[in-house]
Amino acid sequence: MGMKNIKINDKEFELFIEAEKIEKSIGRIAEQINADLKGKNPLFIVVLNGAFMFAADLLKKITIPCEITFVRLASYRGTSNTESVQKILGLTESVENRTVVIVEDIIDSGNTLTALIEELKKHHLREIKIATLFLKPGALKYDLRPDYVAMELPPDFIVGYGLDYDGYGRNLIDIYKLKN
Protein backbone atom coordinates (compact mmCIF):
# COMPACT_ATOMS: atom_id res chain seq x y z
CA MET A 1 0.00 0.00 0.00
CA GLY A 2 1.20 3.46 -0.89
CA MET A 3 1.08 6.67 1.14
CA LYS A 4 -2.33 8.00 2.14
CA ASN A 5 -1.85 11.42 0.59
CA ILE A 6 0.17 12.51 -2.40
CA LYS A 7 0.79 15.75 -4.23
CA ILE A 8 1.05 16.04 -8.01
CA ASN A 9 2.05 19.47 -9.22
CA ASP A 10 -0.43 21.82 -7.55
CA LYS A 11 -3.02 19.23 -6.51
CA GLU A 12 -3.53 17.04 -3.42
CA PHE A 13 -4.80 13.49 -3.81
CA GLU A 14 -5.86 10.93 -1.21
CA LEU A 15 -5.77 7.14 -1.32
CA PHE A 16 -9.04 5.85 -2.74
CA ILE A 17 -8.78 2.27 -4.06
CA GLU A 18 -6.02 -0.13 -3.08
CA ALA A 19 -4.22 -2.34 -5.57
CA GLU A 20 -5.63 -5.61 -4.17
CA LYS A 21 -9.17 -4.45 -4.73
CA ILE A 22 -8.44 -3.46 -8.33
CA GLU A 23 -6.80 -6.85 -8.90
CA LYS A 24 -9.86 -8.72 -7.63
CA SER A 25 -12.22 -6.74 -9.85
CA ILE A 26 -10.03 -7.43 -12.85
CA GLY A 27 -10.03 -11.16 -12.02
CA ARG A 28 -13.81 -11.13 -12.09
CA ILE A 29 -14.11 -9.60 -15.57
CA ALA A 30 -11.28 -11.78 -16.91
CA GLU A 31 -13.36 -14.83 -15.97
CA GLN A 32 -16.38 -13.38 -17.75
CA ILE A 33 -14.33 -12.70 -20.88
CA ASN A 34 -12.78 -16.18 -20.84
CA ALA A 35 -16.27 -17.71 -20.70
CA ASP A 36 -18.04 -15.35 -23.14
CA LEU A 37 -15.41 -15.21 -25.86
CA LYS A 38 -14.24 -18.81 -25.85
CA GLY A 39 -13.81 -20.01 -29.43
CA LYS A 40 -14.04 -16.46 -30.81
CA ASN A 41 -10.33 -15.76 -31.09
CA PRO A 42 -10.78 -12.14 -29.99
CA LEU A 43 -8.49 -9.26 -30.85
CA PHE A 44 -7.90 -7.02 -27.82
CA ILE A 45 -7.38 -3.39 -28.79
CA VAL A 46 -5.68 -1.57 -25.93
CA VAL A 47 -6.15 2.20 -25.93
CA LEU A 48 -2.90 3.90 -24.92
CA ASN A 49 -1.68 5.51 -22.75
CA GLY A 50 -4.09 5.12 -19.86
CA ALA A 51 -5.00 1.45 -20.30
CA PHE A 52 -1.47 0.03 -20.29
CA MET A 53 -1.43 -1.18 -16.68
CA PHE A 54 -5.00 -2.48 -16.71
CA ALA A 55 -4.33 -4.28 -20.00
CA ALA A 56 -1.21 -5.99 -18.63
CA ASP A 57 -3.03 -7.30 -15.55
CA LEU A 58 -6.22 -8.22 -17.42
CA LEU A 59 -4.48 -10.04 -20.25
CA LYS A 60 -2.33 -12.10 -17.86
CA LYS A 61 -5.63 -13.59 -16.71
CA ILE A 62 -7.01 -14.29 -20.19
CA THR A 63 -6.60 -17.98 -20.93
CA ILE A 64 -8.34 -18.26 -24.31
CA PRO A 65 -6.45 -17.83 -27.62
CA CYS A 66 -6.37 -14.14 -28.51
CA GLU A 67 -4.40 -11.40 -30.19
CA ILE A 68 -3.43 -8.10 -28.61
CA THR A 69 -2.75 -4.79 -30.28
CA PHE A 70 -2.29 -1.20 -29.14
CA VAL A 71 -3.74 2.01 -30.51
CA ARG A 72 -3.58 5.66 -29.73
CA LEU A 73 -6.25 8.21 -30.42
CA ALA A 74 -5.40 11.52 -32.02
CA SER A 75 -7.96 14.32 -31.91
CA TYR A 76 -8.29 16.58 -34.89
CA ARG A 77 -10.85 19.04 -36.21
CA GLY A 78 -13.61 17.47 -38.25
CA THR A 79 -15.39 18.94 -41.23
CA SER A 80 -17.36 21.39 -39.14
CA ASN A 81 -15.25 23.66 -37.00
CA THR A 82 -16.72 22.57 -33.69
CA GLU A 83 -16.58 18.85 -34.34
CA SER A 84 -13.58 17.06 -32.78
CA VAL A 85 -12.84 13.74 -34.45
CA GLN A 86 -10.75 10.89 -33.10
CA LYS A 87 -8.37 9.24 -35.52
CA ILE A 88 -7.08 5.79 -34.61
CA LEU A 89 -3.31 5.46 -34.88
CA GLY A 90 -1.49 2.15 -35.04
CA LEU A 91 -4.21 -0.30 -35.99
CA THR A 92 -2.21 -2.56 -38.29
CA GLU A 93 -4.09 -5.83 -37.72
CA SER A 94 -6.99 -6.66 -39.99
CA VAL A 95 -10.15 -6.40 -37.93
CA GLU A 96 -12.54 -7.47 -40.64
CA ASN A 97 -14.93 -10.15 -39.41
CA ARG A 98 -13.25 -10.28 -35.97
CA THR A 99 -14.55 -10.09 -32.45
CA VAL A 100 -12.68 -7.13 -30.98
CA VAL A 101 -12.46 -6.13 -27.35
CA ILE A 102 -11.65 -2.47 -26.71
CA VAL A 103 -9.59 -2.17 -23.53
CA GLU A 104 -10.06 1.26 -21.93
CA ASP A 105 -8.91 2.76 -18.66
CA ILE A 106 -11.96 4.82 -17.85
CA ILE A 107 -15.25 5.90 -19.37
CA ASP A 108 -16.16 9.35 -18.15
CA SER A 109 -18.46 11.29 -20.54
CA GLY A 110 -18.14 8.45 -23.06
CA ASN A 111 -17.04 10.86 -25.76
CA THR A 112 -13.72 9.17 -26.51
CA LEU A 113 -15.13 5.68 -26.65
CA THR A 114 -18.10 6.68 -28.79
CA ALA A 115 -15.74 8.22 -31.34
CA LEU A 116 -13.51 5.13 -31.29
CA ILE A 117 -16.46 2.82 -31.86
CA GLU A 118 -17.66 4.95 -34.79
CA GLU A 119 -14.23 4.69 -36.37
CA LEU A 120 -13.96 0.94 -35.80
CA LYS A 121 -17.39 0.31 -37.29
CA LYS A 122 -16.03 1.39 -40.67
CA HIS A 123 -13.86 -1.74 -40.67
CA HIS A 124 -16.60 -4.38 -40.93
CA LEU A 125 -15.98 -6.10 -37.65
CA ARG A 126 -18.04 -9.03 -36.48
CA GLU A 127 -18.71 -7.60 -33.01
CA ILE A 128 -17.30 -5.02 -30.63
CA LYS A 129 -17.02 -5.66 -26.91
CA ILE A 130 -15.91 -3.03 -24.44
CA ALA A 131 -13.82 -3.76 -21.37
CA THR A 132 -13.14 -0.83 -19.08
CA LEU A 133 -11.37 -0.65 -15.77
CA PHE A 134 -13.55 2.18 -14.51
CA LEU A 135 -16.94 3.61 -15.40
CA LYS A 136 -18.33 6.85 -13.98
CA PRO A 137 -22.04 6.29 -14.60
CA GLY A 138 -22.91 9.75 -13.26
CA ALA A 139 -20.77 11.44 -15.92
CA LEU A 140 -21.89 9.39 -18.92
CA LYS A 141 -23.40 11.49 -21.72
CA TYR A 142 -23.77 8.78 -24.37
CA ASP A 143 -25.79 5.61 -24.58
CA LEU A 144 -22.87 3.28 -23.96
CA ARG A 145 -23.15 -0.08 -22.28
CA PRO A 146 -19.71 -1.48 -21.69
CA ASP A 147 -19.73 -5.28 -21.58
CA TYR A 148 -17.07 -5.64 -18.90
CA VAL A 149 -16.67 -3.04 -16.14
CA ALA A 150 -14.18 -3.76 -13.37
CA MET A 151 -15.44 -0.97 -11.09
CA GLU A 152 -18.06 1.78 -11.08
CA LEU A 153 -16.99 5.08 -9.52
CA PRO A 154 -18.44 8.43 -8.50
CA PRO A 155 -17.47 11.29 -10.84
CA ASP A 156 -14.37 12.39 -8.87
CA PHE A 157 -11.09 12.91 -10.68
CA ILE A 158 -8.63 10.07 -10.01
CA VAL A 159 -5.02 9.17 -10.74
CA GLY A 160 -2.93 6.02 -10.60
CA TYR A 161 -2.83 2.60 -12.20
CA GLY A 162 -2.32 4.08 -15.66
CA LEU A 163 -4.39 7.22 -15.17
CA ASP A 164 -2.62 10.55 -15.03
CA TYR A 165 -2.95 14.10 -13.89
CA ASP A 166 -0.91 16.36 -16.20
CA GLY A 167 1.14 13.34 -17.29
CA TYR A 168 2.03 12.23 -13.75
CA GLY A 169 0.75 9.43 -11.54
CA ARG A 170 0.38 6.65 -14.10
CA ASN A 171 2.95 4.50 -12.27
CA LEU A 172 1.05 4.42 -8.95
CA ILE A 173 -0.29 0.97 -8.09
CA ASP A 174 -3.25 2.30 -6.08
CA ILE A 175 -5.91 4.80 -7.14
CA TYR A 176 -5.94 8.24 -5.58
CA LYS A 177 -8.70 10.82 -5.82
CA LEU A 178 -8.53 14.57 -5.92
CA LYS A 179 -9.04 16.14 -2.53
CA ASN A 180 -11.52 18.95 -2.36
> 99 is in the binding site of which of Mg ion, ligand IMP, none (Cβ under 5 to 8 A by kind)?
none
Site string for ligand IMP, 119-158 (x = CB under 6 A): --------------------------------------xx
What residues between 26 and 85 interact with Mg ion by CB under 5 A?
Answer: 50
Q: Is 108 a catalytic residue?
A: yes
> Is residue 108 involved in binding Mg ion (CB under 5 A)?
no
Greatest distance between any 2 Cα atoms in the chain: 49
- 53-91 exposure pattern, b = at least 16 Cβ within 10 A, e = fewer: bbbebbbeebeeebeeebbebeeeeeeeeeeeebebeeb
Give the count of residues interacting with ligand IMP (CB under 6 A): 14
Q: How far is the CB of 137 from ligand IMP (least distance, A)?
A: 12
Q: Is the dihedral of CA 110, 115, 117, 118 positive or negative?
A: positive
> Is residue 174 involved in binding Mg ion (CB under 5 A)?
no
> Is residue 107 involved in binding ligand IMP (CB under 6 A)?
yes
Among residues 57, 105, 108, 174, which one is catalytic? 108
What residues between 35 and 54 interact with ligand IMP by CB under 6 A?
Answer: 50
Within a 10 A sphere around the Cβ of 96, how many other Cβ atoms?
A: 9
CA distances 9 to 73, 120, 170, Å, are: 25, 36, 14
Q: How far is the CB of 25 from ligand IMP (least distance, A)?
A: 16
- 177 CB-contact burial (10 Å; exposed 0-12 / middle 13-18 / buried 19+): middle
Among the listed residues 106, 128, 151, 175, the single contact to ligand IMP using CB under 6 A:
106
What residues between 4 and 33 interact with ligand IMP by CB under 6 A?
Answer: none
Catalytic residues: 108
